[in-house]
Amino acid sequence: EIETPVHARPPARLGQIGLRAKSVILVGSGKGGVGKSTVAASLALTLQRLGAKVGLMDADVYGPSVPHLLGLQGRPSISEAKKIEPIRLNGEMPVMSMGFLLEPDQAVIWRGPMLHGSITQFLKDTDWGELDYLVIDMPPGTGDVALTLSQNVPVTGAVVVCTPQEVALLDAVKAISMFKKVNIPVAGMVENMSGFQCPDCGKNYDIFGRGGARNKAEELGVPYLGGLPIDIVLREAGDAGELAKVIYEDARARAPFEQVARAL
Ligand code: ADP
């Protein structure tokens, strides 16, 4: 039996803005393309698989990729209580993303106040229900959204995703100092694309290196939450919009996220 890593925080703490979640977990990165959205969505699905009630908010308003990863589409409707009805994965996990409000190839140009407004609206006006976790996929790099979030909800912690390469690590260090600056606790670092095991010969190849994030985390005095190998199954699942199916059904693909979930 798997033990549910639900945080023992009373939902009431977030009551003043109407959001009822025991834990708010941000997933950020210093730059794009390191697998932040894949980690955010997979972590949310894993927590759900472990028995928690989970909501997923895609705050990467510049490049919302959560709907694609999960194969979700549709327009959120407004309920009689004037709440935004999120799109529900398998009729269950509430998901909210700017991707549901835009045409597929529509670009967004945000001014600060609009960005602030859309993020707070996603938080306050979405009918999230009562959650154990709200997982938030952050835009890479910039601090605007982190600042808005820190002003609106007590964030439990930020998970910073990076790859093992030195340049990626430097960007991750910037992301960590950004979170610290806006008083968001750093939950720890995740090293994505941390090695590759050849499915034919079983040999390990450290394509982008390995271990850099663990060392950097130690240097910075933040927890190291675990590594995630390059995984073709994960990449194909994301491209096909079938990440949920893979995380629910494939214990091997899910294992690294269970490790992160437990370390939160
Ligand atoms: P970000 O949110 O940081 O921009 P994404 O999560 O969108 O990054 O990932 C970028 C691409 O890399 C996607 O196509 C995704 O499927 C792929 N990817 C991410 N992590 C892995 C991994 N561990 N193994 C294989 N492909 C991955």
> The domain that contains 221 carries what CATH number?
3.40.50.300
Q: Does ligand 1 come within 6 angstroms of the Cβ of 68?
A: no
pLDDT surpasses 80 at 84: yes
pLDDT at position 118, please? 86
Question: Helix 251-263 and helix 36-49: axis angle, to 10°?
Answer: 90
Q: How far is the CA of 37 from the centre of ligand 1 (A)?
A: 7
CB 61 within 8 A of CB 15: no
Q: With respect to residue 4, please indicate whether it lies within any of the assigned structural domains.
A: no
pLDDT at position 6, please? 43
Q: With respect to residue 6, please indicate whether it lies within any of the assigned structural domains.
A: no
pLDDT at position 209, please? 87
Identify the residue whose C-alpha is closest to ligand 1 atom 27: 235
Q: With respect to residue 5, please indicate whether it lies within any of the assigned structural domains.
A: no
- Kindly state the average pLDDT of the residues 206-228: 93
CB 224 within 8 A of CB 213: yes
**Total structural domains within the chain:** 1
Alpha-carbon gap, residue 64 to 58, rounded angstroms: 6
pLDDT at position 34, please? 95
Tell whether ipTM is more than 0.85: yes
Q: With respect to residue 86, please indicate whether it lies within any of the assigned structural domains.
A: yes
Residue 117 labeled ligand binder: no
Q: How far is the CA of 202 from the centre of ligand 1 (A)?
A: 22
At 17, is the pLDDT very low, low, confident or very high (cuts 50, 70, 90)?
low
* CB under 8 A, 24+ apart: contacts of 74-81: 74/100, 75/100, 75/101, 76/100, 76/101, 76/126, 79/127, 81/127
Sign of the CA dihedral running 121, 183, 58, 96: negative
Alpha-carbon gap, residue 191 to 35, rounded angstroms: 10
Q: How far is the CA of 242 from the centre of ligand 1 (A)?
A: 14
At 2, is the pLDDT very low, low, confident or very high (cuts 50, 70, 90)?
very low
Q: With respect to residue 237, please indicate whether it lies within any of the assigned structural domains.
A: yes
* Contact residues for 230 (Cβ-Cβ < 8 A; gap 6+): 193, 194, 195, 196, 207
Strands 204-205 and 196-197: antiparallel
Domain that holds residue 90: 11-263
Q: Which atom of ligand 1 is nearest to the CA of 137?
A: 2
Least confident stretch, 48-57, 107-116, 120-129, 134-143: 107-116
pLDDT surpasses 70 at 143: yes
Arithmetic mean of pLDDT over the chain: 89
Q: With respect to residue 2, please indicate whether it lies within any of the assigned structural domains.
A: no
